[in-house]
Amino acid sequence: MIENILAPSVFATCLRLSTPYLFAGIGEMFGQRSGMLNLGVEGVMLMGAFFAHYVVLNTGSLLLGVIAALVVGLVMGVAIAFVNVTLKAEQGISGIGVYLFGLGMSELLFKTLVGTPRSVSGFPPLHIPVLSDIEFLGIGQIFFQHNLLVYVAFALVPISAYVLRRTPLGLMIRAVGQTPEAADAMGINVARVRYMTVIFGAMMAGLAGASLSIALLNVFQQNLTSGLGFIAIALVYFGRWRPVGVMSGALLFSFVNALQLQISAIGIDVPSEFAVMAPYVITIIALVFASKQTEKPTALTKPFDRGE
């Protein structure tokens, strides 16, 4: 029984399912480290997912699909940054606006341009030579037979940890998120740094959407993401604003998801509603335990006013 539930395929699925969480979560983390809460991740993901899918459907080019998702993220990121940084809008509310926009807009475009769900041939699994053949504990199957975006998502973790901790750019981002006044006095352009992080975060959200529509599911339909983007935001809190923390959270969540798929696949009778509910309940509990939040960027959600 337990061998069936914890088969290597479950772990492989777990890694695959964590891709959208990783892209969206790491992107969101950069924004939050600079003091910007982007609640519109879900909306950007939906738009990214749609455009990536639509472009692949029409051109067959996966590269163009990824570029489309990044461009959508870029455009929406500029808009979000303008609203939240320049116009100093209340971030919790403007994000809901972005979400509703993405939800409605992606459905509108889907219904007018595509109509019914159609699948595309997305990113194929990439078998890493030699390593993918390791039979021991199913290591080959678990780690080395994924599509390209899975590897990119996991590569993002050490890279972003390095950028945050060891580069002047990372120092600037953290300074702007902790004490924008001091950063400003040091000659750092607070607004510019926040524009950068918000736009990067939105581009990653777009990519997260693409990872669903042209790599994991290879299909688009209305509300494809169904709350994934919101969980990604919670993962940033859960992971205490650290790349490795976000990754741990992403793995935990996708493991629950993978387990749920496996449990229903081998026919154990748990009402599916409770399985779907589980990640959200876990998130709430995790937020309670993560609530000491000593690592939380002090200036999170606080607009910076130079007092001119």
Partner 1 sequence: MPSSNLRAFIDRLIDGLLPLLSLVAALAVASVLLIALNADVGQAYSALIEGAFGTQNAFAETLVKSIPVLFVAIGICVAFRANVINIGGEGQMIAGALAGTTATLALAGSPGWLIIIASLVAGFLAGALYGGLAGFLKAQFNVNEILSTIMLNQVAVQMMNFLLNGPLLDPSEQGLNHIPKTARIVAEAQLPRLVIGLPDGTALFDRTRLHYGLVIAILLAAAIYVLLWRTPIGYRIRAVGYNERASRYAGISVRRQMILSMFLAGGCAGLAGVVQVLGLQYRLQTDGSPGGFTANAGFNGIVAALFGGLNPIGAIPASILFGGLLVGAQNMQRDLGVPASLITAINGIVVVFVVSSQILIKWRGRRRLQQSTSRTEVAVENAVVAEQQV
Cα Rg, the chain, nearest whole Å: 20
Between CA 299 and CA 203 the distance in angstroms is 23
Q: Produce one character per residue of 22-50: b if its CB has 16 or more CB atoms within 10 Å, e if not.
A: bbbbbbbbbbbbbbbbbbbbbbbbbbbbb
291 token code pair: 């609530």
Nearer to partner 1, 88 or 165 (CB): 88
Between CA 297 and CA 224 the distance in angstroms is 31
Instruction: Give least dist CB 108 to partner 1, A.
Output: 5
Between CA 302 and CA 281 the distance in angstroms is 28
Instruction: Give least dist CB 101 to partner 1, A.
Output: 3
> What three-state secondary structure class fits 125?
strand
Q: Give every CB contact of residue 6 below 8 A, 6+ residues apart in sequence.
A: none
Nearer to partner 1, 2 or 284 (CB): 284
Between CA 245 and CA 145 the distance in angstroms is 24
Q: Which residues bind partner 1 (CB under 8 A)?
A: 39, 43, 83, 87-90, 92-94, 96-105, 107-108, 111-112, 222-223, 226-227, 230, 233-234, 237, 271, 273-274, 276-277, 280-281, 283-284, 287-288, 291-293
Between CA 127 and CA 144 the distance in angstroms is 6
Nearer to partner 1, 162 or 274 (CB): 274
Instruction: Give least dist CB 135 to partner 1, A.
Output: 39
DSSP letter, residue 131: G
Instruction: Give least dist CB 274 to partner 1, A.
Output: 7
Instruction: Give least dist CB 145 to partner 1, A.
Output: 31
Instruction: Give least dist CB 283 to partner 1, A.
Output: 5
Between CA 120 and CA 110 the distance in angstroms is 14
Which residue type, as a one-letter code, is found at position 181? E
Instruction: Give least dist CB 23 to partner 1, A.
Output: 19
Between CA 159 and CA 300 the distance in angstroms is 23
